């Protein structure tokens, strides 16, 4: 018997597929296009099980769609810039570029060993100047359109290391390296004006419904966070000017009793100038501003504030409202000022209780009265207006509209929309990233690098600093340049771009991966986009997917692309767990894919990942499970081996002429039903596990039928067809073994070029037989049963027949004799 030598077989087919360029297509000429894409990996060192799962899912989709007649585009690349490369450089003294390219080489070999059907001729690495060159061009285009701008923004600053820290490098408000307390500093940073697209990013989520998981759409809606309300002006007392607030609850305006400002609010200095509390307020503000940004925005933040000594006037009640600075008011949201309505907002209620500020009830539940002195919490529900002048008695929802109209008419406010979404800070004070293509000139200011001077290459001949600071500012060869405008001396920007910028457009670049004259070939790219099926982790539900959606729209508006959305369908696969917790290096609960491939082969590892759970669910790693997957493949191998002498290359779901015996018909029914089930499971639902289960049943049926059928007239044909079906349906999951056995069956065309089978509905009809039922030898009834019914099933059917049951009443059944396919005799006493 031939042994299943998976190492040799897998290598053999990988070489053949590669040599024949089976998975390379010409995107320019392809018809019936299907673009399947998995989120590209960060080259961290080695492939982990999460990758294997992600890419195995994508590979089944790719191979299946190819068999269904699509021209499938299935590329792979590397999200290759980022902090870990720098950290490794510091730790191991190796240059980030070397580290990155070596990891890519290792991981590429690992992926190839898995037999994934990638078009490797279009591989991209985002750290390559020929890639980021286009990104720099986009930056300049966006800059010209005002979609990129420069602004002061707070960053995490470590006074010990004299450097900016990424959020991940701040632990408990301290520097991860030197433990110094991290400060918030204002630095000039580059921002992408994603908020300009907030409305479209929100509205177009509706067009993705059905294609994207509802959960991801909800997360994105929440992240964009649209609020509809008003801006209302409150005149200052004894001073020129006004405080403008953003509120979604203008219906509570008559209940506004004080004002809360963010400590960063530009009015604060003017308000406190010359007051007795000037110094104390300034000190308070400084403290709050230096707080960690995350702590500050936390829900359980202890609310604190300080009176500025000034008042403003409620525009409808004329009430004098003390102006406070408060730590929970954020400068980045709305106008940075909040009209405080302590009776109807819980934060304001807590604040008022703490600083003994008055409450004014202006909304009551219908038919009830609220006594401010006895309230223990704010009343935040809708209700009926009270103490609200002409609006008393009005429903609060209606009052929102009525008060908005009144304020607009009097010029006291205007309707406004606010988004939680913030502009995207893309400046990183890091080395291993794409340079931002601008220079600073004393005479001309900020000057964009002319497009014909792109790329601004990241210099590779630098020494990474052990303190983590970027070596770029000290790299004279890079920094010192001449101003493109006046020719005088100038300095290059030394910040690099956030790595999320590279992953925001890579899916479009694959289609023109080697084109050095343009980032995209419009005719080709637009014919292929959006990606038909995108697959990746739920951890990217917000940022990566939002940035990619934004880039698609912004590049569309620059004339590069002609689509509105990058990904038509999204599948977010679950995690790979070991003993109930996520596999991770830090937990030390890693199962190394290479070790598994070494032991069982790539086909087994793939099959296990696809069989153990539906793709969106978490997958629990189990040694028993992988053994089971391996045993199944061995069973398929043995089946073909045992039947080798009678199998012929008839193809899956072959038409068979001749009269079939019931057993032949039954196997054929099972075969066609397997194709029906697997096709249903794979079409868009991607229920790989149930498709594999159906395949396992077919293999069981083959084992049961093979000895009988090898001797019947049509048996060998029926067996050959069923075996061909097993291999065809199995091939997207376990492509090497399937391809090898396919060849052994005598096929001359490779399985990868073989279409997916179509089942014959007529073959699905169950064969039925009529069985006679006797009681003590006398004919008492007839039952119809499937031809395949077992003795047990026949016995149960016979005893349940109403006429038979009548003759059994009051008697004891001694024995039931079953003559298969003919007769059941019930012996009673
Ligand atoms: C008066 C009021 C009365 C409010 C009331 C709420 C309840 P969303 O829905 O999230 O947009 N707010 C506005 N700007 C703020 C800032 N910079 N920092 C902290 N809070 C701010 O919330 C809008 C509400 O959040 C606004 O409506 C404002 O408080 C508060 F019974 O104004 B409200
Ligand atoms: Zn200049």
- What's the gap in Å between 147 CA and the centre of ligand 1? 28
For residue 408, tell me if it sits in a domain: yes
- What's the gap in Å between 246 CA and the centre of ligand 1? 7
Same domain assignment for residues 238 and 381: yes
Is residue 584 scored above 80 in pLDDT? no
Contact of 493 with 440, CB cutoff 8 Å: yes
- What's the gap in Å between 164 CA and the centre of ligand 2? 28
Which residues are within 8 A (CB) of 588 and not within 5 positions of it... i.e. 6 or more apart? none
In angstroms, the CA 727 to CA 705 distance is 18
CATH number at residue 477: 3.40.50.620
Contact of 331 with 264, CB cutoff 8 Å: yes
Answer with the residue of higher pLDDT: 183 or 242: 242
For residue 519, tell me if it sits in a domain: no
Q: What mean pLDDT comes out for the span 65-86?
A: 94
Contact of 824 with 818, CB cutoff 8 Å: yes
- What's the gap in Å between 126 CA and the centre of ligand 1? 42
Confidence of residue 86 (pLDDT cuts 50, 70, 90): confident
pLDDT at 747: 97
Is residue 318 scored above 90 in pLDDT? yes
Same domain assignment for residues 337 and 454: no
Decide: 265 in ligand 1 pocket, CB within 6 A.
no
Decide: 787 in ligand 1 pocket, CB within 6 A.
no
CATH number at residue 397: 3.90.740.10
Decide: 230 in ligand 1 pocket, CB within 6 A.
no
In angstroms, the CA 72 to CA 670 distance is 30
Contact of 201 with 557, CB cutoff 8 Å: no
Q: What mean pLDDT comes out for the span 657-665?
A: 90
For residue 752, tell me if it sits in a domain: yes
Confidence of residue 383 (pLDDT cuts 50, 70, 90): very high
Decide: 418 in ligand 1 pocket, CB within 6 A.
yes
Cis link prior to 142 (omega < 30° from 0)? Answer: no
Is residue 527 scored above 80 in pLDDT? yes
**CB neighbourhood size of 518 (10 A):** 12
For residue 323, tell me if it sits in a domain: yes
Same domain assignment for residues 710 and 679: yes
Confidence of residue 433 (pLDDT cuts 50, 70, 90): very high
Is residue 535 scored above 90 in pLDDT? yes
Same domain assignment for residues 458 and 332: no
pLDDT at 293: 67
Which alpha helices (H) appear in 129-277, and where do they start and end? 129-144, 198-203, 205-208, 214-224, 267-272
Decide: 224 in ligand 1 pocket, CB within 6 A.
no
Decide: 176 in ligand 1 pocket, CB within 6 A.
no
Confidence of residue 357 (pLDDT cuts 50, 70, 90): very high
- In degrees and rounded to multiples of 5, residue 35 shows phi and psi of -110, 110
Decide: 400 in ligand 1 pocket, CB within 6 A.
no
pLDDT at 294: 67
Answer with the residue of higher pLDDT: 432 or 767: 432
Q: What mean pLDDT comes out for the span 370-395?
A: 96
For residue 477, tell me if it sits in a domain: yes
pLDDT at 168: 65
Same domain assignment for residues 406 and 435: no
Mutate which of 221, 229, 244, 246 for ligand 1? The one with the most ligand atoms within 8 Å of its CB, which is 246
Decide: 345 in ligand 1 pocket, CB within 6 A.
yes
In angstroms, the CA 465 to CA 520 distance is 37
Contact of 278 with 324, CB cutoff 8 Å: no
Is residue 163 scored above 80 in pLDDT? no
CB neighbour class for 437 (10 Å; exposed up to 12, middle 13-18, buried from 19): buried
Is residue 484 scored above 70 in pLDDT? yes
**CB neighbourhood size of 426 (10 A):** 23
Is residue 157 scored above 90 in pLDDT? no
- What's the gap in Å between 447 CA and the centre of ligand 2? 7
For residue 588, tell me if it sits in a domain: no
Decide: 248 in ligand 1 pocket, CB within 6 A.
yes
Decide: 333 in ligand 1 pocket, CB within 6 A.
yes
pLDDT at 537: 92
SS3 per residue for 517-540: CCCCCHHHHHHHCCEEEEEEEHHH
Q: Which ligand is nearest to the CA of 438?
A: 2
- What's the gap in Å between 265 CA and the centre of ligand 1? 16
Q: Output the residue whose Cα is nearest ligand 1's atom 18.
A: 329
In angstroms, the CA 35 to CA 532 distance is 5
Least Cα distance to 662 among 435, 437, 820 occurs for: 820
In this predicted structure, which of 238-252, 289-303, 416-430, 719-733 has the lowest mean pLDDT?
Answer: 289-303
Decide: 321 in ligand 1 pocket, CB within 6 A.
no
Which alpha helices (H) appear in 480-622, and where do they start and end? 499-502, 506-509, 522-528, 543-557, 593-600, 602-611
Same domain assignment for residues 790 and 720: no
Q: Output the residue whose Cα is nearest ligand 1's atom 22.
A: 248
- What's the gap in Å between 247 CA and the centre of ligand 1? 5
pLDDT at 464: 87
Same domain assignment for residues 444 and 390: no
- In degrees and rounded to multiples of 5, residue 244 shows phi and psi of -105, 130
- What's the gap in Å between 438 CA and the centre of ligand 2? 12
Same domain assignment for residues 384 and 454: no
When the pLDDT of each residue in the chain is averaged and rounded to a whole number, the result is 94
Contact of 123 with 77, CB cutoff 8 Å: yes
Decide: 747 in ligand 1 pocket, CB within 6 A.
no
Q: What mean pLDDT comes out for the span 283-310?
A: 85
CATH number at residue 806: 3.10.20.590
Q: What is the pLDDT of residues 164-185, one digit of tens each?
A: 776 767 777 788 778 888 888 8
Element (H, E) at 282: helix 278-289
CATH number at residue 735: 1.10.730.10
In this predicted structure, which of 17-31, 192-206, 292-306 has the lowest mean pLDDT?
Answer: 292-306
Neighbouring-strand partners of residue 497: 427
Same domain assignment for residues 636 and 758: yes
pLDDT at 821: 81
The helix/strand/coil state of 802 is helix
Listing from the earlier edge strand, what are the strands of the sheet with 305-313?
A: 305-313, 320-326, 258-261, 337-340
Q: Which ligand is nearest to the CA of 264?
A: 1
Q: Which ligand is nearest to the CA of 483?
A: 2
Same domain assignment for residues 633 and 703: yes
Q: Which ligand is nearest to the CA of 225?
A: 1
Domain boundary among 444, 479, 499: 499
- What's the gap in Å between 435 CA and the centre of ligand 2? 20
pLDDT at 458: 98
Counting from 1 in the atom list of ligand 1, the atom nearest the Cα of 341 is 3
- What's the gap in Å between 439 CA and the centre of ligand 2? 9
Work out the angle at residue 129's Cα, subtended by the Cα atoms of residues 127 and 134, and round it to the nearest 5 degrees. Answer: 100
Mutate which of 230, 334, 347, 350 for ligand 1? The one with the most ligand atoms within 8 Å of its CB, which is 334
Domain boundary among 419, 450, 472: 419
From residue 766, give the alpha-carbon distance in Å to each of 80, 219, 567, 673, 789.
56, 48, 43, 11, 11
Q: What is the pLDDT of residues 119-130, one digit of tens each?
A: 999 999 999 999
Q: Which ligand is nearest to the CA of 485?
A: 2
pLDDT at 822: 87
Q: Output the residue whose Cα is nearest ligand 1's atom 28.
A: 247
Confidence of residue 88 (pLDDT cuts 50, 70, 90): confident
What is the length of the chain?
829
Query: In percent, how much of the chain has pLDDT > 90?
Result: 80
Question: Which residues span the domain enclosing 810?
Answer: 768-828
Q: Output the residue whose Cα is nearest ligand 1's atom 5.
A: 345
For residue 361, tell me if it sits in a domain: yes
In this predicted structure, which of 195-204, 617-626, 790-799 has the lowest mean pLDDT?
Answer: 790-799
- What's the gap in Å between 121 CA and the centre of ligand 1? 53
Q: What is the pLDDT of residues 763-775, one digit of tens each?
A: 888 777 889 999 9
Domain boundary among 397, 419, 441: 419
End-to-end, the C-alpha distance of the chain in Å comes to 55
Which residues are within 8 A (CB) of 640 and not within 5 positions of it... i.e. 6 or more apart? 647, 723, 727, 741, 744, 745
Q: What mean pLDDT comes out for the span 11-27?
A: 96
Number of domains in the chain: 4
Choose the most confident range, by mean pLDDT, from 171-175, 287-291, 305-309.
Answer: 305-309
Decide: 341 in ligand 1 pocket, CB within 6 A.
yes
Which residues are within 8 A (CB) of 611 and not within 5 positions of it... i.e. 6 or more apart? 625, 629, 688, 689, 692, 693, 733
The helix/strand/coil state of 43 is coil
In angstroms, the CA 497 to CA 139 distance is 10
Q: What is the pLDDT of residues 779-824, one digit of tens each?
A: 998 888 887 788 888 898 898 888 898 998 889 999 999 988 889 9
Same domain assignment for residues 411 and 290: yes
Contact of 345 with 381, CB cutoff 8 Å: no
Q: What is the pLDDT of residues 693-728, one digit of tens each?
A: 999 999 999 999 999 999 999 999 999 999 999 999
Decide: 344 in ligand 1 pocket, CB within 6 A.
yes
Decide: 435 in ligand 1 pocket, CB within 6 A.
no
For residue 354, tell me if it sits in a domain: yes
Q: What mean pLDDT comes out for the span 234-240?
A: 95
Same domain assignment for residues 751 and 782: no
């Amino acid at each position: 018997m031939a042994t299943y030598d998976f190492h040799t077989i897998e290598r053999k087919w990988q070489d053949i597929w590669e040599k024949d360029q089976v998975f390379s297509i010409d995107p320019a000429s392809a018809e019936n296009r299907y673009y399947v894409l998995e989120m590209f990996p960060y080259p961290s060192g080695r492939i982990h099980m999460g990758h294997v799962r992600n890419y195995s899912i994508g590979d089944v989709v790719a191979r299946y769609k190819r068999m269904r007649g699509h021209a499938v585009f299935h590329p792979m690349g590397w999200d290759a810039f980022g902090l870990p490369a720098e950290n490794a450089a510091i730790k191991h003294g190796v240059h980030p570029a070397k580290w990155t390219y070596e990891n890519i080489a290792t991981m590429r070999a690992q992926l190839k060993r898995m037999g994934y059907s990638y078009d490797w001729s279009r591989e991209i690495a985002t750290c390559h100047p020929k890639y980021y060159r286009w990104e720099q061009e986009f930056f300049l285009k966006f800059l010209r359109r005002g979609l990129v701008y420069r602004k002061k923004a707070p960053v995490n600053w470590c006074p010990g290391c004299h450097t900016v820290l990424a959020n991940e490098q701040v632990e408990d408000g301290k520097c991860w390296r030197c433990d110094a307390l991290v400060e918030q500093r204002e630095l000039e940073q580059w921002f992408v004006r994603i908020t300009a697209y907030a409305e479209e990013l929100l509205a177009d989520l509706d067009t993705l419904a059905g294609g994207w998981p509802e959960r991801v759409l909800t997360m994105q809606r929440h992240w964009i966070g649209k609020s509809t309300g008003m801006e209302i002006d409150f005149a200052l007392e004894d001073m020129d000017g006004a405080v403008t607030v953003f509120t979604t609850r203008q219906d509570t305006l008559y209940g506004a009793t004080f004002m809360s400002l963010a400590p960063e609010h530009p009015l604060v200095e003017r308000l406190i100038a010359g007051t007795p509390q000037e110094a104390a307020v300034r000190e308070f503000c400084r403290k709050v501003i230096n707080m960690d940004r995350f702590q500050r925005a936390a829900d359980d933040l202890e609310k604190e504030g300080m009176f500025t000594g000034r008042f403003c006037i409620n525009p409808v009640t004329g009430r004098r409202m003390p102006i406070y600075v408060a730590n929970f008011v954020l400068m980045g949201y709305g106008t940075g000022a909040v009209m405080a309505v302590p009776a109807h907002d819980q934060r304001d209620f807590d604040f008022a209780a703490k600083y003994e500020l008055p409450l004014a009830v202006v909304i009551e539940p219908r038919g009830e009265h609220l006594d401010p002195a006895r309230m223990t919490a704010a009343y935040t529900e809708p209700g009926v207006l009270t103490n609200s002048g002409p609006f008393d008695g009005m429903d609060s929802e209606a009052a929102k509209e009525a008060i908005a109209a009144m304020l607009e008419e009097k010029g006291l406010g205007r309707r406004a929309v606010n988004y939680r979404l913030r502009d995207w800070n893309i400046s990183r004070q890091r080395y291993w990233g794409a340079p931002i293509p601008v220079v600073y000139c004393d005479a001309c200011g900020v000057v964009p690098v002319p497009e014909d001077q792109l790329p601004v290459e990241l210099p590779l001949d630098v020494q990474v600093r052990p303190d983590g600071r970027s070596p770029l500012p000290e790299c004279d060869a890079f920094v010192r340049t001449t101003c493109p405008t006046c020719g005088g001396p100038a300095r290059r920007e030394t910040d690099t771009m956030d790595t999320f910028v590279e992953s925001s457009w890579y899916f479009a670049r694959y289609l023109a991966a080697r084109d050095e004259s343009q980032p995209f070939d419009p005719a080709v790219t637009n014919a292929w986009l959006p990606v038909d099926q995108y697959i990746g982790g739920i951890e990217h539900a917000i940022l990566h997917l939002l940035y990619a959606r934004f880039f698609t729209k912004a590049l569309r508006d620059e004339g590069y692309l002609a689509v509105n959305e990058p990904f038509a369908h999204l599948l977010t696969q679950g995690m790979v767990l070991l003993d109930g917790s996520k596999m991770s290096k830090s937990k030390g609960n890693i199962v190394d894919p290479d070790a598994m491939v070494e032991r069982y082969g790539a086909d087994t590892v793939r099959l296990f990942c696809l069989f153990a759970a539906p793709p969106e669910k978490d997958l629990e790693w189990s040694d028993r499970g992988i053994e089971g997957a391996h045993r199944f493949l061995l069973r398929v191998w043995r089946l073909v081996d045992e039947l080798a002498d009678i199998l012929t290359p008839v193809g899956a779901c072959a038409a068979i002429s001749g009269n079939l015996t019931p057993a032949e018909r039954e196997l054929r029914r099972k075969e066609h039903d397997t194709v029906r089930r697997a096709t249903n499971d794979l079409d868009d639902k991607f229920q790989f596990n149930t498709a594999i289960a159906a395949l396992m049943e077919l293999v069981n049926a083959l084992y049961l039928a093979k000895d009988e059928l090898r001797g019947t007239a049509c048996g060998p044909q029926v067996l050959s067809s069923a075996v061909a079906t097993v291999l065809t349906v199995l091939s997207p999951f376990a492509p090497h073994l399937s391809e090898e056995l396919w060849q052994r069956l005598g096929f001359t065309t490779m399985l990868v070029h073989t279409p997916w089978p179509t089942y014959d509905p007529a073959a699905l009809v169950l064969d039925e037989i009529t069985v006679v039922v006797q009681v003590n030898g006398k004919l008492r009834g007839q039952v119809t049963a499937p031809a395949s019914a077992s003795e047990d099933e026949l016995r149960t059917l016979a005893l349940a027949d109403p006429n038979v049951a009548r003759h059994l009443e009051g008697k004891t059944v001694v024995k039931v004799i079953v003559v298969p396919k003919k007769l059941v005799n019930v012996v009673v006493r």
